[in-house]
Amino acid sequence: MNDLATFELGQAIFNSQWLAAGAPRAERRDGLGPVFNAASCDSCHNNGARATAPSDDGRLPIGFVMQLGMANGGAIPLGDVLNPAAIEGYSAEGHIVLSYRVRDVRYPDGSQVEVREPHYQLHGPRVSALPARTLLKPRMASPLFGTGLLDAVPASAFGSDQASPGRFGWQAGTRSVRDQTAKAFSREMGLHSTEYPLDDCGDDATCAAAPEGGEPEVSEDFLHAVTLFQSLLAVPKAEPLDAESEAQGASLFARTGCANCHAPSLPVEGIDGLSRIAAYTDLRRHDLGDGLADRRMDGTVVDSLWRTAPLWGIAHLPRGGHFGLLHDGRARSVEEAILWHAGEADAARATFMALPKAQRKRLLDWILRR
Ligand code: HEC
Ligand code: HEC
């Protein structure tokens, strides 16, 4: 199969709603669940975009996933993610109730901005049996464009000293687009492949014994095609301002310290006609303080490192409605996202807050055109 045909197959699989094992006319797209989050990649990453924002009254988008962890290691009874949906005849693992606590952040010049802090409760019979040390890791479906370019950044450009397991995901926990794809099929959709041969059943034997939609459910040609499709998703173009505003914005971005992490330029290798990209990330992980850190079910904060989120593509976020920025979608604007920066980014946030209002606006306008 040539690359174009593979790309088109990948796009078709990305958009396909998978069916329960044995469903008629499934065309090798069966085996969903038995427990799952969504039936297609596109339900969470619509046309490659990030999940839509959670609403102020706590309604969660389908692209929001509650990953689970266990402090000090140990098996997680529900598997790696909470699965709030199930095929007929099986029970969902539970559901999430989100509420926001809202407060005002005051600038040195007296102006105020409202931010919202999320609180999660899990409900359902199996959830109530989870140990209190279970970690809750709320995650928004990330934007997918540009993954092929980020893959082409040589490791030497961001240093191999940081011992991060990979470069994809909010915590750079995944080494390749292929790995993330296979993981998503298994964890978020209940579809196993040769890379991840098990569904995300945890210790539930009934779930594990559910009929299979093939062996593996996601065939190698499908996995390869979806991986290629995503690697080629183009980054939406920046929308530059006039030359003077561009220069002033870039200078503020550097002076404020944003550019120390959100690197305006990174080298890439092996891509025809391209030697550098403007992804605005260093692909490294940073501690941004307790406010953004994951918590255990009993409320204890756990140390959390986050990959500097690439800022490219921000110009194309839907206007009018809310943005859902940061790993859990809490920030409704670029400004709110900045105000959550603490820990290693504390100085940058403080410098931003101390800027005269007109300069803050200049910087925000500039970021909104990346
Ligand atoms: C239920 C929602 C959901 C579904 C379905 C889903 N994803 Fe995701 N995806 C996520 C979330 C949440 C993340 C962030 C995970 C993290 O950071 O740990 C993510 C992250 C990714 C990333 C990493 C991007 C980056 O640059 O860091 C890739 C690639 C990806 N998904 C591909 C896929 C593919 C391919 C499918 C279909 C096989 C898929 N996803 C299905 C929610 C979903
Ligand atoms: C120490 C490194 C560091 C510095 C300095 C820093 N950031 Fe960040 N930034 C991050 C990390 C890490 C994240 C992801 C945090 C998360 O999702 O919880 C992030 C996320 C963001 C986001 C949200 C992106 C998204 O896709 O959701 C925006 C916007 C942002 N930063 C802007 C800025 C601006 C503007 C500055 C300067 C005032 C700045 N950052 C300084 C590390 C940094």
For residue 26, pLDDT beyond 90: no
- Tell me which residue of 90, 94, 64, 89 sits closest to 79, measured CA to CA: 94
- Tell me which residue of 241, 242, 230 sits closest to 185, measured CA to CA: 230
Q: Residues 55-68: what's their mean pLDDT? A: 96
Q: Residues 205-225: what's their mean pLDDT? A: 94
108, exposed or middle or buried, with CB in 10 Å at 0-12, 13-18, 19+? exposed
For residue 77 the two structure tokens come to 């009874």
Q: How far is ligand 2, taken at its centre, from the CA of residue 229, in Å?
A: 28
Ligand closest to Cα of 293 equals: 2
CA distance 270 to 152: 7
Rg (Cα) of the chain, in Å, rounded?
Answer: 21
CA distance 313 to 147: 12
- Tell me which residue of 101, 369, 102 sits closest to 241, measured CA to CA: 369
For residue 112, pLDDT beyond 70: yes
Q: Are 153 and 277 in contact (CB under 8 A)?
A: yes
Q: Is residue 189 within 6 Å of ligand 1 at its C-beta? A: yes
- Tens of pLDDT, residue by residue over 293-351, are 999 999 999 999 999 999 999 999 877 667 999 999 999 999 999 999 999 999 999 99
CA distance 85 to 98: 17
Which amino acid makes up residue 8? E
Calculate the average pLDDT of the chain.
Answer: 94
CA distance 183 to 174: 9
Q: 10 in helix, strand or coil?
A: helix
Nearest ligand 1 atom to alpha carbon 189: 5
Ligand closest to Cα of 304 equals: 2
For residue 51, pLDDT beyond 80: yes
Q: Is residue 168 within 6 Å of ligand 1 at its C-beta? A: yes
- Tell me which residue of 343, 328, 347, 337 sits closest to 367, measured CA to CA: 337
Q: Residues 164-179: what's their mean pLDDT? A: 90
- Tens of pLDDT, residue by residue over 64-109, are 999 999 988 888 999 999 999 999 999 999 999 999 999 999 999 9
Nearest ligand 2 atom to alpha carbon 323: 27
For residue 175, pLDDT beyond 80: yes
Q: How many residues does the chain have?
A: 370
Task: Identify the band that residue 120 occupies on the pLDDT scale cut at 50, 70 and 90.
Answer: very high
For residue 314 the two structure tokens come to 């921000």
Q: Are 165 and 183 in contact (CB under 8 A)?
A: no
Q: How far is ligand 1, taken at its centre, from the CA of residue 176, in Å?
A: 12
Q: What's the pLDDT at 163?
A: 60
Which amino acid makes up residue 28? R
CA distance 290 to 71: 16
Q: Is residue 29 within 6 Å of ligand 1 at its C-beta? A: no
CA distance 223 to 280: 29
Q: What's the pLDDT at 146?
A: 94
Residue with tokens 């990346």: 370
Q: How far is ligand 2, taken at its centre, from the CA of residue 313, in Å?
A: 14
CA distance 32 to 27: 13
Q: How far is ligand 2, taken at its centre, from the CA of residue 32, in Å?
A: 36
Nearest ligand 2 atom to alpha carbon 334: 29
Ligand closest to Cα of 35 equals: 1
Q: What's the pLDDT at 356?
A: 98
Q: What's the pLDDT at 107?
A: 98
Q: Residues 164-186: what's their mean pLDDT? A: 92
Q: What's the pLDDT at 156?
A: 86
Q: What's the pLDDT at 113?
A: 97
Angle, CA 34 vertex, CA 223 and CA 165 arms, to 5°? 45
